[in-house]
Chain A
């Protein structure tokens, strides 16, 4: 199985800060990577698909980049409603696998 390593596992930031999360795959996954946001008590929500494509209805402050084994997820200006845990997920190989998650909260 492909291992997905996310970092950091948690971070604290202020409103308006730029937040960056990275995800490293144990092998080349091309651009077959998605990013999800999960708020407490809720199901995950798709934000970014195929590494860099914004899902319909998702605010443009969210973005993704990368290919191969190294990927980044950026919140350009953190908003109060963005507090959540974020997960990357690869689907290049079966089975699909998730990163361990990054919990984002306020300083």
Chain B
């Protein structure tokens, strides 16, 4: 069965970086886009970026310009999202999500990781 398993919770100090992993299984990793979505405490869903596992190509939301990197390791079927220069506003649950029905690189998210809580605190 399809699974996206994310790395564990992190606590970081302001100014630090965090790298979250998302290991895919149960399907061909390179055949589906992966997106990253975050959710601040008590807030809604915010799209961060996407990676094309086949090529490694990425796109991200303008607000994360210069702070976000998304990579993948096709040999292990794992995607990574790194966010730098963290502030308290980055405290959130970070999700990876698979695009099941793709439309110009986006679409509907049919499988989600369990989420990774990142807490930024001094």
Contact = CB atoms under 8 A, between A and B. Distances in A.
A43 B61 CA distance: 21
Interface residues of A, number: 22
Interface residues of B, number: 23
A34 B95 contact: no
A38 B104 CA distance: 25
B54 interface: no
A96 B48 CA distance: 9
A91 B97 CA distance: 14
B109 interface: yes
Interface stretch (B11-19, B39-47, B79-87): B39-47
Contact of A49 (B35, B101, B112): B101
A94 to B, nearest CB: 6
A49 B113 contact: no
A74 interface: no
For chain A, what secondary structure do more than half of its interface residues adopt (helix, strand, loop), or is it mixed?
Answer: loop
A55 B110 CA distance: 9
A36 B35 CA distance: 15
Contacts of B109: 34, 36, 44, 46, 89
Interface stretch (A20-28, A65-73, A97-105): A97-105
A80 B105 CA distance: 36
B44 A32 contact: no
A44 B103 contact: no
Interface in B50-84: 59, 61
Interface of B: 35, 44-47, 59, 61, 95, 97, 100-101, 103-110, 112-115
Interface of A: 32, 34, 36, 38, 43-46, 49-50, 55, 87, 89, 91, 94-101
